[in-house]
Amino acid sequence: MRDLILKNIIKRSAMPLAPIDGRKSFYGKCEIFSVKFDNSSGVILYSYNTPVIAVIDGNPVKLWNDWSSTTGRHVNAFLSSCGLPTVTKKQWDKMPIVD
């Protein structure tokens, strides 16, 4: 699944991500890309050039296991921008990672 998601990224549609914690910017450290499949679509978050999480048809798909305070801010801003609830590190750790 992870390889399929990454293979279907539409590179030309990179979008910056806005912080939700009062900071001015993420200063280009993360971007959102669109993903298209035959019967579905979604978005994927890259943090420091690493695919971290995707939202496919409204469902979060964890692609990266590590968590730092910066990654957490990126993930939560991304989830919020997708209309999904934010997560704590404990919740992140319990989410399964896709292969």
Q: Which tens digit of pLDDT belongs to each residue from 8-54? A: 776 656 788 899 989 889 998 999 998 887 888 899 999 999 999 99
**Contact of 11 with 33, CB cutoff 8 Å:** yes
Q: Model pTM?
A: 0.88
4-16 residues labelled b (16+ CB within 10 A) or e (exposed):
ebeebbeeeeeee
**Contact of 81 with 17, CB cutoff 8 Å:** yes
With a CB cutoff of 8 Å and minimum separation 6, the contacts of 83 are none
Task: Tell me what pLDDT residue 80 has.
Answer: 96
**Contact of 97 with 62, CB cutoff 8 Å:** yes
What's the rounded Cα separation, in Å, for the pair 64 and 61? 9
